[in-house]
Amino acid sequence: MAEIKVARVESFADPGKQVFEIDGFEFGVFHVGGEFFAWENRCPHLDGPACQGKLIARTDEAVNEDRTGRGREFSKTHMNVACPWHGFEFDIRTGRHPAKSEVRLRGVKLRVENGDVYATIRGA
Ligand code: FES
């Protein structure tokens, strides 16, 4: 394993992401709400390139105090990435599928220092 500088903080939109391939190891770095997260670019479903999917706000069921529903609305705080192969979604902060928490992306160690983003690369 090796820690490698992969990008500058200002190269990311918020929300935004970049996907990297270093020595055959693919991973996505996500910037959401001022925080950074990184996940291997392998979907737990069928190994699709999950990190290359679209960033979308989580869909929540809005419920009134009397427990009647108001329909669905987009979360203002939670973002998911949707795998481009079959649409599985993963919470960018946790890597977990919203409905089946045991289905999750594998994390990549990340560090931000002095405006640089460093990732620890497996096999490098
Ligand atoms: S490979 Fe990602 S949803 Fe199927």
Between CA 39 and CA 27, with CA 55 as vertex, the angle to 5 degrees is 20
Give residue-wise pLDDT tens across range 47-87: 999 999 999 999 888 999 999 999 999 988 889 999 999 99
The alpha carbon of 37 and the centre of ligand 1 are apart by a number of angstroms equal to 20
CATH of the domain at 91: 2.102.10.10
Nearest ligand 1 atom, CA 43:
2
The domain of 104 spans 2-121
> How many folded domains does the chain comprise?
1
pTM of the predicted structure, to 2 decimals? 0.90
The alpha carbon of 85 and the centre of ligand 1 are apart by a number of angstroms equal to 5
Distance CA 119, CA 124 (A): 11
Substitution site in 45, 96, 103 for ligand 1 pocket (most atoms within 8 Å of beta carbon) = 45
Is residue 124 over pLDDT 60? Answer: no
